[in-house]
Chains A and B, each alone.
Chain A
Amino acid sequence: MSKIIRRSLALLLIFAFTLASVWTLDRILLIKRYDGVKPMESFYAQEPGTVDVLLMGNSHMGVHVDTATLWREYGISAFALWGGVQPMWNSYHFLVEALKFQQPKAVVMEIGGLSYDWEYADEATQLKNVAGMHLSLNKLEAVKATAPEDRRVSLLLGLPLYHQRYGELTQEDFEYFPWSAEPINNKGSYALYGHGDFDMADPAEITELAQISDKSLDYFMRIVSLCREEGIELILVKTPTVDLEKYQPYSNAVAGLAEELGLDFYDFNKMSEETGIDGRDFYYDTHLNLGGARKLSLSLGEILLEKLELADHRGDPAYFSWDVNADNIEDGYLLDITETGDYLAELKRGGRAVLLIKNGDWEKREPYLSFVKELAQLGVAEDELLSENSGAWLISDCAAGKVSPMGLEFQLEDKSYLVDFQELNAVTENGSIVYSFRDLGITMLVYDYSGGKLLDMVDFFHTQGFQLSRK
């Protein structure tokens, strides 16, 4: 082999190795935003042809519709392909990208994105709405629509904008490779825990019509055309918001537009009786908490089933990842909860087993007496909770209230649990300590209903007035 050929081959090899290194770095350093980036990245990991319903738009879609509820209640395989403050042009390019891999029967489009009247979003929003897309002509077009010229190259490549994340990398950053399991189990939607308490205005009182910007309208019409070309049912929705002054004029404008175009438009702000959503269902004024999202998803599920022939995929092994997604959403939500009442209510929804331990004795007065009443909802006898003895109960099904007698040894699936107040002062699982007692009070070890996986450990200490705390 001549010297020139050898050197050329070596240079090619070096070039390929460098490209591979850059790709790996890009995967690691990519911002793993729960909006925009992760939904798009996860979408690529879905099995082709499995997504029946695409939920698209800004955060009002990503947060207000719960894919877990649509799955658990109706078996609908929905995917929320959204981004925070996502303008219509990014929704359009997300849709173009989505249709390369899936043939959904319906696209549910949140129209909040039509309220943006700027030419370009702020720089962080620009990035999260394109960074998850793979390099393609569609991404190039998306970048052109998203950012001014001087920023387009950086935005297209991504790495120039997020390469300085090296100081904030976590385990998650090393799990976003094509062979990682995580992305396929993420169906896009995002749950918020927390309550506001807002007064709900009457949307009917706002009759003003907003002027939709030319750019937003242009991309909205492209979405309409694309769905028509592909034979996809396009359903427009405005999910609930407290900030009606801002959004209702747009909803009013869209109502007229939808009528003109022969599209279905559901203004959920005007459907609070059907959904049952009230001011406590908001996380803050523009976003629902998961409780609100569950209520909305129940209504949306009914609408989808009424309008479309959607198969119930529950139990189909090809759709197992929707089960995992629902588990992940529910488990993640449980870990976010900080109020006792909410926590117990979430346990009551089912799917969880709890090892409830009473450690020590204390004076039986408020707030313990109220707490005992709340715990009793899980099926534990109040008099046992008020007794002087330490002990434990295995609540094998919180929803059904199946509780074992008070004891110290329990069996859950293939695992045996021992509660030892004497020598170890700890709880062991198959002989290994999983929890050490630190203070007098009630402790809950929360397990996955079937798998026996430990999900959460929460304490209600006597010294802290039986408020929920985590180690």
Chain B
Amino acid sequence: MSFVNLQFWALFLPLCFLAYALMRSAGGQNAVLLLASLVFYASYDIKYLLLLIGCTAVSYLGGLLGKRQRRIYIAAAVLNLMVLLVFKYTDFALGSIQSLTGLNFSLPEILLPVGLSFYVFQSCSYLFDLYNGKLEAEENPINYGLFVCFFPTVVSGPIQKGRELLPQIREKRQLRYEDFSFFMLCFLWGAFLKLVIADRLALMTDRLFQEYYDYTGAVLMVNSLAYTFQIYADFAGYSYMAIAVSRLFGFRLKDNFRQPYLATDIQDFWRRWHISLTSWFTEYLYFPLGGNRRGRTRRYVNIFIVFLVSGLWHGAAWSFVLWGGLHGFYQIAGHITRPWRSALYDRLGIDRFRAAFRLGQRFITFSLVSFAWIFFRSENLSKALVYCRNMLRGLAPWALFDGSLTAFGISSLDWAILLFALGLLGLVSVLREKGFDSGCILKQSMAARALLCWAMFIVILVFGAYGGEYSASAFIYAGF
């Protein structure tokens, strides 16, 4: 069951909300939400529910027992991380050994439980905060259980920190009309990104990342651009829906994306992309490694380590490691060349505050990010390299105009709709960059808001890619 599943809308959410609304205390509200969260998670695969409960219990007990001996916090976190290592990286590690040594043995083929990377990281953030004295241990098992298992975030984040979410869990939350309005608007925007943009583009990218060897130049470039937008619309769409559903129950979660493709450099990109994960790595890996306090070389090593680990977190394959490494390289290269670039701009008299200059920076950053996504999306490293080679071999720009692009499941009309939707996404991104956010819409009259929601709903209903062969569970980030 996912957010764009009819069972979720027609059954799960109304029942959950009704039961929640009938509760008169925070305890009752939390008990309802915890039960709903377990049901929600079990709908993916009931046998992994035990793993979720186990990880939650370990971190909960670790939090309680660690009051006497702080090392227990770390032990509990390590135990959680071990689960992640076993389920996510065993095949990868054994496969790598097999490739390196040439030994022939069968791999265990362990399936990755949905959301494992997210809830393990969330549990660890709680334990690390306890260890660092930033948080008091949560004694109420229902409250803590809800913190880890909360259904809007358990599958694909955003990764919450205990010090941000637990205080909200402890308080009784009021049902507010404003929260409902926000929920509708934010959810529909998320569904628009997911169903109208991401899943439509997926028709092309799913095919072309399989059949890349038959194509060159412009087609593969358009495909990598399509994937650039697909992954953003997919993951940001999910995050918006998660934030929206959380708000329906009175929880205020921070934004997980802030116009990442308007970033002016790679460091800026990571301040805007998957913010909850960047924040996690910054606080619990980069700073403990020494951050930027131990000299320039160590700082670069730290950055590189963080990005390699981030790559591995996204997927147990060398292509993900390379993707992470590429971003680390981008960032380090950006740091190293900054003084030279500044000197060059000064010598050439380039005004770095002019819109055209910033547009150029955005274009370069976007291109670098887009190129790196090829490694992220390709099945393995060698395929990614062949994809790049083919893309750079023979531009064949006529493919953009001779109808070739309509041969991948997206008709001319669908392309027109997609371009319009991407234009809308761009417009919204620019407006948000300039300070207009959902609050500006929520201040409008009820009729105006209703009309906007209605229009979004109808657009999603007609132009969304759902039904038929479409599988609602295929959120890209749910696989990590």
A interface residues, Cβ below 8 angstroms from B: 7, 10, 14, 17-18, 21-22, 25, 29, 123, 153-154, 157, 159-161, 163-164, 166-167
Contacts and interface: CB of A to CB of B under 8 A. Distances in A.
A159 B466 CA distance: 10
Contact of A166 (B462, B467, B468): B462
Contacts of B350: none
Contacts of A123: 468
Given A159-B467, A161-B467, A167-B414, 7 more contacts: A18-B454, A18-B457, A25-B458, A123-B468, A159-B461, A160-B468, A163-B461
Contacts of A157: 6
B457 A160 contact: no
A163 to B, nearest CB: 6
B462 A21 contact: no
Contacts of B177: 7
B413 interface: yes
Nearest to A29: B462
B454 A17 contact: yes
B12 interface: no
Interface of B: 6-7, 177, 411, 413-414, 446, 450, 453-454, 457-458, 461-468
Contacts of A163: 461-462, 464, 466-467
B452 to A, nearest CB: 11
Given A18-B457, A153-B6, A161-B468, A10 B463 contact: no
B461 A22 contact: yes
Nearest to A162: B467
A157 B466 CA distance: 13
Contacts of B6: 153-154, 157, 160
A25 B467 contact: no
A10 B467 contact: no
13 contacts: A14-B453, A21-B454, A21-B458, A25-B458, A25-B461, A154-B6, A154-B467, A157-B6, A160-B6, A160-B468, A163-B466, A167-B411, A167-B414
Nearest to A4: B177
B363 to A, nearest CB: 33
A67 B282 CA distance: 76
A434 B457 CA distance: 46
A123 B468 CA distance: 9
A162 to B, nearest CB: 8
A153 B468 contact: no
Sorted from nearest, which 3 A-B pairs have the closest CB atoms? A160-B467, A167-B413, A14-B450
A264 to B, nearest CB: 42
Contact of B463 (A21, A154, A166): A166
A17 B454 CA distance: 9
Contacts of B413: 166-167
A153 B7 contact: yes
A160 B466 contact: yes
Given A7-B177, A14-B450, A166-B413, A154 B468 contact: yes
B446 A10 contact: yes
Contacts of B450: 10, 14
A21 B456 CA distance: 12
B330 to A, nearest CB: 39
B462 A25 contact: yes
